[in-house]
Amino acid sequence: MTDRIIDRTAAELAADIREGRLTSVAVTTAFLDRIAAVDGTVKAFLHVDREGALAVAAEVDAAVAAGEDLGPLAGVPIAVKDVVVTKGLPTTAASKILEGWIPPYDATITERIKAARMPILGKTNMDEFAMGSSTEYSAYFPTRNPWDTGRIPGGSGGGSAAAVAAKMAPLAIGTDTGGSIRQPGAVTGTFGAKPTYGGNSRYGLIAFSSSLDTPGPVSRNALDGALLHEVISGYDPRDSTSIDAPVPPVVEAARLGATGDLTGVRLGVVKEFKEGADAAEPGVIAAYEAGVEQLVKLGAEIVEVSCPSFAYALPTYYLIAPSEASSNLARYDGVRYGLRAGDDGKHSLEEVMSLTREAGFGPEVKRRIILGTYALSAGYVDAFYGKAQKVRTLIKQDFEKAFASVDAIVSPTTPFVAFEFGARTGDPYQMYLADLYTIPTNMYGGPAVSVPVGLSEGMPVGLQVMGPVLGDDVTYRVAAALESTQDVLLADTAPEIEGN
């Protein structure tokens, strides 16, 4: 533990507050002050709620003083990705089309954060409607990577990852449709977990691709992520795809992993991931392989598995996700929410809708809507969307087979470290490649985490641990075991960010 409040982990801060060494007001103020000091540079937040956060903190302090037994993260502040609906707080999904919208209700995960008595610091920047891998597609401004402010913080959840990496928040919420929690985690040296699809509620998430969208934790280490995972997860009758099963014991698994013993754990490496490794930078592969060696030293056994459909995951995703997006985004018509353009009495209702969508959506969102509408159109739906769903089933079968012989599968999280601004915006495919290793998990619906494993060219590299459906605990165990081999958390070695 260090003297600076912002350097402490969420688990440490929770204990400090619970045991009366620190007040939640002091903790929350420290992070708000940090935001005031460095977010002019990093630009992780779209909205900061100083007053609201401090009000919750003061309530927690009163409850602690009264001897109330609060939850495991009570009083610990959190940042929330702007795709999650928060009652009374602006929610835009970083789109102009939702500018100024104040939701009249809370997402289920927002309710659970509030029930856990965690002050919400603010809403974090992202690629518009969570479409992107760099946060450059935010309609407002790009977020900078705290490790090198000339580089991207990943995406779509670059704001949440950068907020945690720059110690503006001890915890954050992300959403992962194809990698948007794990990829930003990898390139900012933070921990990120995509839970099992259906393991936590999508109610109140602004929908992108409903069969893939999964909210999850962003943190500095596996234990903090696990504590948040347990706060937000669990069955919700308001989400028809929510799984009615106990939440996997991720906190217990993270504590077990931290003992550094992986005896008897079988870790798969996917043959086809390796063959596709020419897409990956050598420095990334080297850091990942060194990480695997550490896991072997802790007792893990490495088993080669095969997922022949791996190569089809990316193209399959880019049919399914845009198709679902084109349907989900039809609701932004200028009538129900946010922006309305052309409402001057001279345009028809249809023209108002079309002018609103023209003005309100950015180029990447329009690209996805056009692609998805095409893939769903009569005459093409079987050839594109239908075919993609069949391939998705094959990918799922590959992984089911692999998990019959291993407990978890490891890979690099991303093929490359954080790139410079503008490096991949010119060619959509180059941007899509960032999720080469993360998308397969979304296709089979399982859990996966990204844990910092080392550096390449001075920039963080993440190791991905994938688990079988509802096997979230094993992913945390392996991640925490890897952390136990590191003298200091990689997240704590980021260069000190210059102030505004």
Residues contributing to the site for ligand GLN (CB under 6 A): 130-133, 156, 176-180, 208, 321, 435
The DSSP output letter for 376 is H
What whole-number distance in Å separates Cα of residue 417 and Cα of residue 426? 18
Nearer to ligand GLN, 223 or 391 (CB): 391
What whole-number distance in Å separates Cα of residue 206 and Cα of residue 371? 20
CB of 349 to ligand GLN, least distance (A): 31
Q: Would you call the peptide bond into 306 cis, given omega within 30 degrees of 0 as the criterion?
A: no
CB of 479 to ligand GLN, least distance (A): 19
Nearer to ligand GLN, 398 or 435 (CB): 435
Catalytic residue from among 24, 43, 81, 450: 81
CB of 136 to ligand GLN, least distance (A): 11
Catalytic residue from among 138, 180, 233, 326: 180
For the record, the structure tokens of 189 come out as: 């040296």
Alpha helices in 19-154 (DSSP H): 24-42, 50-65, 108-115
Residue tagged 């794990």 (tokens): 182
H and E: helices and strands count for the chain: 17, 11
Nearer to ligand GLN, 86 or 183 (CB): 183
Nearer to ligand GLN, 180 or 221 (CB): 180
Catalytic residue from among 24, 138, 156, 323: 156
CB of 130 to ligand GLN, least distance (A): 4
Does 390 participate in catalysis according to the annotation?
no
Does 396 participate in catalysis according to the annotation?
no
CB of 414 to ligand GLN, least distance (A): 10
Burial string for 38-70 (b: 16+ CB within 10 Å, else e) reads: bbeebbbbbbbbbebbbebbebbbebbeeeeeb
Helices 472-484 and 250-258, axial angle in degrees (round to 10)? 30
Does 219 participate in catalysis according to the annotation?
no
Q: Is residue 94 within 8 Å of 160, Cβ to Cβ?
A: no
Q: Is residue 257 within 8 Å of 269, Cβ to Cβ?
A: no
Task: Give the residue numbers annotated as catalytic, written as ranges.
Answer: 81, 156, 180
